[in-house]
A and B are shown apart, each in its own frame.
Chain A
Amino acid sequence: NAGVTQTPKFRVLKTGQSMTLLCAQDMNHEYMYWYRQDPGMGLRLIHYSVGEGTTAKGEVPDGYNVSRLKKQNFLLGLESAAPSQTSVYFCASSWVLGNTGELFFGEGSRLTVL
Protein backbone atom coordinates (compact mmCIF):
# COMPACT_ATOMS: atom_id res chain seq x y z
CA ASN A 1 0.00 0.00 0.00
CA ALA A 2 1.28 3.47 -0.86
CA GLY A 3 -0.21 5.18 2.23
CA VAL A 4 0.58 8.90 2.10
CA THR A 5 2.59 10.16 -0.86
CA GLN A 6 4.08 13.65 -1.14
CA THR A 7 5.42 15.31 -4.26
CA PRO A 8 7.90 16.79 -4.87
CA LYS A 9 10.39 15.49 -2.31
CA PHE A 10 12.84 18.35 -2.85
CA ARG A 11 12.46 21.84 -4.26
CA VAL A 12 14.51 25.00 -4.38
CA LEU A 13 12.71 28.29 -4.93
CA LYS A 14 13.73 31.89 -5.22
CA THR A 15 12.07 34.48 -3.00
CA GLY A 16 8.74 35.50 -4.49
CA GLN A 17 8.19 32.37 -6.55
CA SER A 18 5.13 30.22 -6.07
CA MET A 19 4.71 26.48 -5.82
CA THR A 20 2.32 23.73 -4.79
CA LEU A 21 3.01 20.64 -2.74
CA LEU A 22 0.76 17.68 -3.42
CA CYS A 23 -0.31 15.11 -0.87
CA ALA A 24 -2.21 11.97 -1.85
CA GLN A 25 -3.53 9.23 0.44
CA ASP A 26 -5.11 5.92 -0.53
CA MET A 27 -6.58 4.97 2.86
CA ASN A 28 -9.91 6.78 2.44
CA HIS A 29 -9.11 8.99 5.44
CA GLU A 30 -11.36 11.94 6.22
CA TYR A 31 -8.76 14.11 7.94
CA MET A 32 -5.65 15.49 6.26
CA TYR A 33 -3.00 17.85 7.60
CA TRP A 34 0.04 19.83 6.57
CA TYR A 35 2.86 20.32 9.07
CA ARG A 36 6.19 22.03 8.86
CA GLN A 37 9.21 20.81 10.79
CA ASP A 38 12.05 23.10 11.76
CA PRO A 39 15.06 22.32 13.96
CA GLY A 40 14.18 22.61 17.64
CA MET A 41 10.53 23.47 16.85
CA GLY A 42 9.03 20.03 16.44
CA LEU A 43 6.05 19.69 14.11
CA ARG A 44 3.75 22.67 13.70
CA LEU A 45 0.34 22.44 12.08
CA ILE A 46 -0.15 24.77 9.10
CA HIS A 47 -3.61 23.86 7.80
CA TYR A 48 -5.89 20.88 8.06
CA SER A 49 -9.04 19.49 6.48
CA VAL A 50 -11.86 17.52 8.08
CA GLY A 51 -13.28 16.37 4.75
CA GLU A 52 -13.53 16.97 1.04
CA GLY A 53 -14.17 20.63 0.26
CA THR A 54 -13.25 21.88 3.75
CA THR A 55 -10.07 23.47 5.08
CA ALA A 56 -9.12 25.24 8.29
CA LYS A 57 -6.16 27.08 9.77
CA GLY A 58 -3.73 25.48 12.15
CA GLU A 59 -1.05 27.03 14.29
CA VAL A 60 1.09 28.69 11.58
CA PRO A 61 -1.12 29.35 8.50
CA ASP A 62 0.28 32.70 7.30
CA GLY A 63 1.81 32.60 3.82
CA TYR A 64 0.16 29.30 2.89
CA ASN A 65 -3.06 28.28 1.21
CA VAL A 66 -4.62 24.84 0.87
CA SER A 67 -7.30 23.07 -1.10
CA ARG A 68 -9.07 19.74 -0.75
CA LEU A 69 -11.07 19.30 -3.94
CA LYS A 70 -10.89 15.51 -3.77
CA LYS A 71 -10.98 13.40 -0.63
CA GLN A 72 -7.68 11.71 -1.40
CA ASN A 73 -5.70 14.89 -2.19
CA PHE A 74 -4.61 17.85 -0.08
CA LEU A 75 -2.62 20.62 -1.74
CA LEU A 76 -0.40 23.15 0.02
CA GLY A 77 0.40 26.33 -1.88
CA LEU A 78 2.95 29.05 -1.37
CA GLU A 79 1.93 32.12 -3.40
CA SER A 80 5.07 34.18 -2.77
CA ALA A 81 7.81 32.14 -1.13
CA ALA A 82 9.97 33.68 1.59
CA PRO A 83 13.23 32.41 3.14
CA SER A 84 11.33 31.87 6.42
CA GLN A 85 9.39 29.14 4.62
CA THR A 86 12.52 27.05 4.18
CA SER A 87 11.54 23.88 6.01
CA VAL A 88 10.60 20.25 5.72
CA TYR A 89 6.90 19.83 5.07
CA PHE A 90 4.95 16.76 6.11
CA CYS A 91 1.51 15.74 5.08
CA ALA A 92 -0.50 13.41 7.31
CA SER A 93 -3.91 11.80 7.28
CA SER A 94 -6.14 10.05 9.80
CA TRP A 95 -9.57 8.59 10.32
CA VAL A 96 -12.12 10.84 11.94
CA LEU A 97 -10.37 12.08 15.10
CA GLY A 98 -12.95 10.59 17.40
CA ASN A 99 -11.66 7.18 16.31
CA THR A 100 -8.04 6.28 17.04
CA GLY A 101 -6.38 9.63 16.37
CA GLU A 102 -3.37 7.91 14.79
CA LEU A 103 -1.66 10.05 12.15
CA PHE A 104 -0.14 8.52 9.03
CA PHE A 105 2.68 10.64 7.61
CA GLY A 106 4.25 11.02 4.22
CA GLU A 107 8.03 11.02 3.86
CA GLY A 108 8.34 14.78 3.69
CA SER A 109 9.12 17.51 1.17
CA ARG A 110 12.25 19.57 1.72
CA LEU A 111 11.81 23.13 0.52
CA THR A 112 14.60 25.70 0.32
CA VAL A 113 13.81 29.33 -0.43
CA LEU A 114 16.80 31.41 -1.48
Chain B
Amino acid sequence: GENVEQHPSTLSVQEGDSAVIKCTYSDSASNYFPWYKQELGKGPQLIIDIRSNVGEKKDQRIAVTLNKTAKHFSLHITETQPEDSAVYFCEPNAGGTSYGKLTFGQGTILTVHP
Protein backbone atom coordinates (compact mmCIF):
# COMPACT_ATOMS: atom_id res chain seq x y z
CA GLY B 1 0.00 0.00 0.00
CA GLU B 2 0.85 3.66 -0.01
CA ASN B 3 3.34 5.02 2.54
CA VAL B 4 2.44 8.61 3.32
CA GLU B 5 4.41 11.05 5.43
CA GLN B 6 3.21 14.50 6.29
CA HIS B 7 5.36 17.27 7.76
CA PRO B 8 5.36 19.14 10.01
CA SER B 9 3.05 17.52 12.55
CA THR B 10 2.38 20.90 14.18
CA LEU B 11 2.76 24.39 12.77
CA SER B 12 2.26 27.65 14.60
CA VAL B 13 2.19 30.96 12.70
CA GLN B 14 1.19 34.55 13.27
CA GLU B 15 -1.85 35.89 11.47
CA GLY B 16 -0.84 37.12 8.03
CA ASP B 17 2.12 34.75 7.71
CA SER B 18 2.30 31.91 5.21
CA ALA B 19 2.08 28.21 6.06
CA VAL B 20 3.39 25.26 4.07
CA ILE B 21 2.65 21.59 4.72
CA LYS B 22 4.38 18.85 2.77
CA CYS B 23 3.15 15.34 1.94
CA THR B 24 5.46 12.62 0.66
CA TYR B 25 4.11 9.41 -0.84
CA SER B 26 5.51 6.17 -2.20
CA ASP B 27 3.04 4.82 -4.79
CA SER B 28 4.08 6.00 -8.25
CA ALA B 29 0.57 5.12 -9.50
CA SER B 30 -0.94 7.93 -7.41
CA ASN B 31 -2.65 10.44 -9.65
CA TYR B 32 -5.01 12.35 -7.36
CA PHE B 33 -3.70 14.57 -4.56
CA PRO B 34 -6.25 16.17 -2.24
CA TRP B 35 -5.89 18.17 0.95
CA TYR B 36 -8.55 17.99 3.64
CA LYS B 37 -9.22 20.41 6.49
CA GLN B 38 -10.70 19.18 9.74
CA GLU B 39 -12.10 21.72 12.16
CA LEU B 40 -12.63 20.84 15.79
CA GLY B 41 -15.51 18.42 16.27
CA LYS B 42 -16.17 17.98 12.56
CA GLY B 43 -15.30 15.60 9.78
CA PRO B 44 -12.57 16.40 7.24
CA GLN B 45 -13.58 18.47 4.25
CA LEU B 46 -11.83 18.77 0.91
CA ILE B 47 -10.27 22.21 0.42
CA ILE B 48 -8.16 21.74 -2.69
CA ASP B 49 -6.98 18.96 -4.94
CA ILE B 50 -4.68 18.46 -7.89
CA ARG B 51 -4.24 15.80 -10.53
CA SER B 52 -1.03 14.40 -11.90
CA ASN B 53 -1.22 16.32 -15.17
CA VAL B 54 -1.03 19.67 -13.37
CA GLY B 55 1.92 21.06 -11.38
CA GLU B 56 0.16 23.78 -9.40
CA LYS B 57 -3.35 24.84 -8.58
CA LYS B 58 -4.48 27.93 -6.72
CA ASP B 59 -7.77 28.91 -5.08
CA GLN B 60 -7.66 32.34 -3.45
CA ARG B 61 -5.31 32.04 -0.44
CA ILE B 62 -4.61 28.33 -0.79
CA ALA B 63 -2.52 26.52 -3.36
CA VAL B 64 -1.22 23.03 -3.95
CA THR B 65 2.00 22.19 -5.77
CA LEU B 66 2.95 18.77 -7.06
CA ASN B 67 6.34 17.24 -7.78
CA LYS B 68 5.61 13.79 -9.22
CA THR B 69 9.24 12.98 -9.86
CA ALA B 70 10.11 13.46 -6.20
CA LYS B 71 6.72 12.08 -5.09
CA HIS B 72 5.60 14.92 -2.90
CA PHE B 73 2.98 17.64 -2.93
CA SER B 74 2.49 20.64 -0.68
CA LEU B 75 -0.29 22.81 0.66
CA HIS B 76 0.42 26.54 0.76
CA ILE B 77 -1.73 28.96 2.72
CA THR B 78 -0.96 32.66 2.36
CA GLU B 79 -2.15 35.55 4.53
CA THR B 80 -3.23 33.10 7.23
CA GLN B 81 -6.25 33.92 9.38
CA PRO B 82 -7.36 32.51 12.75
CA GLU B 83 -10.12 30.53 10.98
CA ASP B 84 -7.41 28.60 9.15
CA SER B 85 -6.56 26.94 12.48
CA ALA B 86 -7.42 23.27 12.00
CA VAL B 87 -5.90 19.87 11.27
CA TYR B 88 -4.88 19.33 7.65
CA PHE B 89 -4.56 15.92 6.00
CA CYS B 90 -3.18 14.82 2.67
CA GLU B 91 -4.51 11.70 0.96
CA PRO B 92 -2.63 10.75 -2.21
CA ASN B 93 -4.40 8.03 -4.15
CA ALA B 94 -4.48 6.26 -7.47
CA GLY B 95 -8.17 6.75 -8.13
CA GLY B 96 -9.92 3.63 -9.37
CA THR B 97 -7.05 1.33 -8.48
CA SER B 98 -6.85 2.46 -4.85
CA TYR B 99 -9.86 0.75 -3.31
CA GLY B 100 -8.85 -0.29 0.19
CA LYS B 101 -5.45 1.35 -0.02
CA LEU B 102 -6.68 4.86 0.72
CA THR B 103 -4.11 6.26 3.09
CA PHE B 104 -4.11 9.57 4.90
CA GLY B 105 -1.12 11.41 6.24
CA GLN B 106 -0.97 11.69 10.02
CA GLY B 107 -2.18 15.26 9.95
CA THR B 108 -0.74 18.71 10.64
CA ILE B 109 -2.16 20.83 13.42
CA LEU B 110 -2.04 24.42 12.21
CA THR B 111 -2.49 27.19 14.77
CA VAL B 112 -2.79 30.78 13.59
CA HIS B 113 -2.24 33.31 16.37
CA PRO B 114 -4.09 36.64 16.08
Contact = CB atoms under 8 A, between A and B. Distances in A.
> Interface size bucket, B side?
20 to 34
B89 A103 contact: no
A50 B102 CA distance: 13
B93 A101 contact: yes
Contact of B34 (A4, A96, A101): A101
Interface in A78-112: 90, 92, 96-103, 105-108
Nearest to A56: B100
A113 interface: no
A14 to B, nearest CB: 25
Interface string B21-48: 0000000000010101000011111100
Given A102-B46, A103-B46, A107-B42, A56 B99 contact: yes
A2 interface: no
A98 B95 CA distance: 5
Contact of B96 (A44, A96, A105, A107): A96
A71 B106 CA distance: 30
Interface string B72-114: 0000000000000000010101011111101111110000000
Contacts, number: 68
B93 A97 contact: yes
Contact of A103 (B91, B95, B97): B91
Contact of B100 (A48, A92, A98): A48
Given A41-B106, A43-B44, A107-B42, A102 B34 contact: yes
Contacts of B91: 103
A97 B96 contact: yes
A101 B99 contact: no
B102 A102 contact: no
Given A43-B44, A45-B100, A59-B103, 5 more contacts: A33-B102, A42-B106, A43-B104, A103-B34, A108-B42
